Amino acid sequence: MATLPALSYSSYHTYLECPLRWKYLYVDRLPETPRGYFTFGRVIHSALEELVRPLVVPTARRIGGSDSQRTLDEWEAGAATRPPPTAMTFDDLLAAYDRLWSGDGYVSPEEEARYRSLGRDLLRRFYDQLVRERPQPVSVEEHLETRWDGIPVHGYIDRIDRRPSGGLEVVDYKTSRELSGDDARDSDQLSLYQVLVERNYAEPVEGLTLYHLRSQTPIRVPARDRGRLVQLHDRMGSVYDGIRAEAFEPTPGRQCARCDFRGICPEFKAVPAPDQARLRLLVDRFEQLRADEHRLEGELARTAEELHRAAEELGLHRVPGSRSTAIRRREEAWQYALDPVRPLLEGSGLAERIGSGSPEEVRRLVRDPTIDPELRRKVSETGARRVKWYWELEDPHGSS
């Protein structure tokens, strides 16, 4: 690809589910079948945008490449003295809802009617909540983008509110049936939105909220710490590297049942009729050869073991045959059981030196003259040598 696209949460999540589906959507630009629940979510979001936008009071923004540079948005003339914004009436909100409504993707008129009625109920209860507890939004449905340590990312933020303490709160609306505290705590989407807001606004993000519209419940969690954001950056970096390498292999799973591209996906695409007979013969031949391979592997292992026992008894490393000579080779490896000495290593600040417990790490530690000899001895004593014998064939001309 000549130009790599910026990652949104949706595209990042799509690649994690199935890289090939990502390619169909973002490279090949293949359309997906509309689904009613997606259409419903878009309409509700648009209606809420029209409802909340009059309440927005902009705030300070960052500029330039340095986070230390800050400025205020350009204020329109008289912004400081203009009267407080006027919210829509509920009748205005319903009129906007009817204007925005779309029937795309619903499987029947009855399903569309149920969703439309549900939307009116959600909006009524949201409106009543808004009147009781008026938020202080600084932005609604804003597109933010940044380059996050080398990765271009972007997203549309449903709402950014100012908290009484002066910090910012990221709010993401959800029309799903159920939502829990774990959904908010584990949401990569909220984490990415925090990064986008912090890179574009002067004030810090103090909280993240999934707003469950069916229950009118804001599920609030604290802003992510740096460790959580670093973990997300690593995952997004892996996705970005995969896209850059054009690694678009399919990943079969439960998501395949709702995928629109099964007909062209190599995992599900049917063999064309003219090729079926030829490929059937190849599969049958492969099956037979695989069975022969398993049989021969067992026979080979038994023969090698018999040769090994005979060589042990006779003290031989070379056994001539009619056409070749079998040469006995040794492969040696060390393994360490470190659990008994880990407390000692941790107490000495050396646990990180053998984090994976690989033999190479342990050998470097026990050979380090700067470490206490007694501790090195105890670590060394957890080791055991594993010896594996195998056979090579040498042809009459002397090459193996």
Residues 321-377 have pLDDT tens digits of: 998 999 999 888 888 888 888 888 888 888 888 777 788 888 888 888 888 888 888
Same-domain status, 27 and 103: yes
Give Cα separations from 373 to 189, 339, 365, 378 (angstroms). Answer: 51, 19, 11, 9
pLDDT digits (tens, 9 = 90+) for 273-296: 999 999 999 999 999 999 999 999
Best CA proximity match to 197, nearest among 163, 164, 227: 163
Query: Contact, 224 vs 208, CB < 8 A?
Result: yes
Buried b (16+ CB within 10 A) or exposed e, 220-259: ebebbeeeebeebbeebeebbebbeeeebebeeeeebeeb
Are both 387 and 307 inside the same structural domain? Answer: no
102/39 Cα distance (integer angstroms): 7
Cβ atoms 198, 169 nearer than 8 A: no
393 within domain boundaries: yes
Expressed as residue numbers, the domain containing 355 is 317-400
How many other C-beta atoms can be found within 10 angstroms of the C-beta atom of residue 78? 7
Number of domains in the chain: 3
Contact between residue 360 and residue 299 where contact means Cβ atoms under 8 Å apart: no
Model pLDDT for residues 44-97, shown as the tens digit of each residue: 999 999 999 999 998 878 765 434 333 334 334 344 444 445 578 999 999 999
pTM of the predicted model, to two decimals? 0.70
Residue 3 resides in a domain: no
What is the per-residue pLDDT across 199-240, written as a single tens digit (0 to 9) for each? Answer: 999 999 999 999 999 999 999 999 999 999 999 999 999 999
Same domain, 331 and 306: no
State phi, psi for 381 to the nearest 5 degrees. -70, -15
pLDDT per position as a tens digit, 157-167: 999 999 999 99
The secondary structure element, H or E, covering residue 130 is: helix 109-132
CATH of the domain at 157: 3.90.320
Alpha-carbon distance of 127 to 123, in angstroms, equals: 6
Q: Answer yes or no: are the C-beta atoms of 219 and 179 closer than 8 Å.
A: yes
**Shared domain check, 346 and 280:** no
Does residue 116 sit within a domain?
A: yes
